Amino acid sequence: MNQDTICAIATAQGGAIGSIRVSGPEAISITSLIFKPAKPDKLFSDQKPYSLTFGRIYDGDEIIDEVLVSLFRTPHSYTGEDSTEITCHGSSYILQQVLQLLIKKGCRMAQPGEYTQRAFLNGKMDLSQAEAVADLIASSSAATHRLAMSQMRGGFSKELTDLRNKLLNFTSMIELELDFSEEDVEFADRSALKKLADEIEQVISRLVQSFNVGNAIKSGVPVAIIGETNAGKSTLLNVLLNEDKAIVSDIHGTTRDVIEDTISIGGVTFRFIDTAGIRETNDKIESLGIERTFQKLEQAEIVLWMVDSVNAASQIEQLSKKIIPRCEGKHLIVVFNKADLIEDVQKSNLSALLENFPQESTEHIYISAKRRENTNELQKMLINAAHLPTVTQNDVIVTNVRHYEALSKALDAIHRVQNGLDSHLSGDFLSQDIRECIFFISDIAGEVTNDMVLQNIFQHFCIGK
């Protein structure tokens, strides 16, 4: 357990109220040195846990602020240590004064994520729950909030812990067999182990496959906006984001690099990628931008192909051979822009040009990005194309890359166990593969994680959490 006492401002600047968290073995005694309850006959150190005390912060005889201080005693606190939280006025001057007083009396400034790291080290939560704290703080939609809450409640960890414990039982039986190898006995029922391995393979496979959905919910469904120069890609991006993110001009080749931003539409987060216009050019910088366009196209799950309705026939003829092969496995939406400049007969003719496109994954729509005509219908098409399930707090979906990598390695190990059982491998080989599977499952909860991994995880937290 940590021996020093830490402090940090736990609230964002600019609010009417500010909060400073203090945690560690001297948290209560150090707070008592600068805080005096309003009732003179009361000592703060004598207060009951979970109590809230009104009083003043003093620097010598000078009153810094009137505050409320909450008290938590080990082990019943967020960190598992003695803790106090000082709620004062949100003035940056007051917050800094209180912080400096705490440091003078023996505290040190907390590192990013140190409160949650202490909670993990003191057994208040496992590592996957601790990582979910950062996801909860960063959640920007209802779906990301539900996923983070589900992980914080430990559903993910409990499912993996149950599997690990069953594997531990079998590997102990197999290793016991090795002690009696000369007697040729089997303590571990191979048929029961085969049934368990199949069950574990199904669970881990489901979790690994859920990462695509989880990553899309957490990071946003990637949508590439492509097309010829001056087709209205940047105008559409600005309309979707409701801000002037991209430069709009009648000059061809204005967008020379990739522009990305995220927005929530109907509860689904999309990561829009505005790319350089595709055309033949001798400009080296613009050519590099066009090369990046095709790289981003490979990464997208949904492709918005912007086509200038006035010159649509020539654009489709010139670019379809470059774009269609790269859209295999993706959802393609052909967006005929500037549709206010053409008649209904021309629209019918343009729709006919798409008959040879893969019909199961291709849609089209007529809009005017400049006039914001039909853009709401385009947003509905995007939501339907995302195919994201409705997420509840009971769903177990993997969103963390570290968890995905560990599960993938655990899946490889359990596949070797299954193959070993089918091939009647000896117990020592089976035991090695089972223990490897256990290792990677345990790594998710932090039971085998080294200090370097912990440092990498918690350094990305905000200070005060």
Fill in the DSSP letter of residue 141: S
* Most confident region among 5-14, 170-179, 261-270, 348-357 by mean pLDDT: 5-14
Long-range contacts of 244-249 (CB under 8 A, 24+ apart): 245/274, 246/274
**Three-class DSSP category at 223:** strand
Task: Report whether 338 belongs to an annotated binding site.
Answer: yes
Task: Report whether 21 belongs to an annotated binding site.
Answer: yes
Q: How confident is the model at residue 183 (pLDDT cuts 50, 70, 90)?
A: low
Task: Report whether 337 belongs to an annotated binding site.
Answer: yes
Note the pLDDT tens digit of each residue in 343-399: 988 888 888 888 878 767 788 999 998 899 999 999 999 988 888 766 665 667 787
With a CB cutoff of 8 Å and minimum separation 6, the contacts of 34 are 57, 58, 59, 98, 101, 102, 105
On whether the CB atoms of residues 137 and 462 are closer than 8 A, the answer is: yes
On whether the CB atoms of residues 164 and 193 are closer than 8 A, the answer is: no
CATH hierarchy code of domain 6-126: 3.30.1360.120
Task: Report whether 234 belongs to an annotated binding site.
Answer: yes
Is pLDDT of 256 > 60?
A: no
Q: How confident is the model at residue 175 (pLDDT cuts 50, 70, 90)?
A: low
Is pLDDT of 450 > 90?
A: no
Q: Which residue has the higher pLDDT, 87 or 316?
A: 87
Task: Report whether 48 belongs to an annotated binding site.
Answer: no
Q: Cα(155)–Cα(141) distance, rounded to whole angstroms?
A: 20
Q: How confident is the model at residue 73 (pLDDT cuts 50, 70, 90)?
A: very high
CATH hierarchy code of domain 220-386: 3.40.50.300
Task: Report whether 277 belongs to an annotated binding site.
Answer: yes
Task: Report whether 158 belongs to an annotated binding site.
Answer: no
Task: Report whether 232 belongs to an annotated binding site.
Answer: yes
Task: Report whether 380 belongs to an annotated binding site.
Answer: no
Is pLDDT of 246 > 50?
A: no
Task: Report whether 274 belongs to an annotated binding site.
Answer: yes
Task: Report whether 253 belongs to an annotated binding site.
Answer: yes
Task: Report whether 23 belongs to an annotated binding site.
Answer: no
Least confident window among 42-56, 153-167, 171-185:
171-185
Residue showing tokens 């993910």:
156
- Quote the pLDDT of residue 97: 95
If you average pLDDT over residues 116-122, what whole number do you get? 88
Q: Dihedrals φ, ψ of 447, to 5°?
A: -80, -20
Is pLDDT of 94 > 90?
A: yes
Task: Report whether 403 belongs to an annotated binding site.
Answer: no
| Dihedral angle sign, alpha carbons of residues 355, 356, 360, 361 | negative
pLDDT above 70: percentage of residues in the chain? 82
Task: Report whether 212 belongs to an annotated binding site.
Answer: no
Query: In the chain, what are the domain boundaries?
Result: 6-126, 141-214+400-446, 220-386
Q: Cα(76)–Cα(85) distance, rounded to whole angstroms?
A: 14
* Most confident region among 32-36, 246-250, 360-364 by mean pLDDT: 32-36
Q: How confident is the model at residue 193 (pLDDT cuts 50, 70, 90)?
A: confident
Rounded to 5°, the CA angle 162-164-165 comes to: 65
Task: Report whether 218 belongs to an annotated binding site.
Answer: no
CATH hierarchy code of domain 141-214+400-446: 1.20.120.430
Task: Report whether 85 belongs to an annotated binding site.
Answer: yes
Task: Report whether 375 belongs to an annotated binding site.
Answer: no
With a CB cutoff of 8 Å and minimum separation 6, the contacts of 11 are 17, 18, 19, 90, 464
pTM above 0.85, yes or no: no
With a CB cutoff of 8 Å and minimum separation 6, the contacts of 50 are 70, 71, 72, 76
Distances (CA, A) of 335 to 12, 290, 308, 339: 42, 19, 9, 10
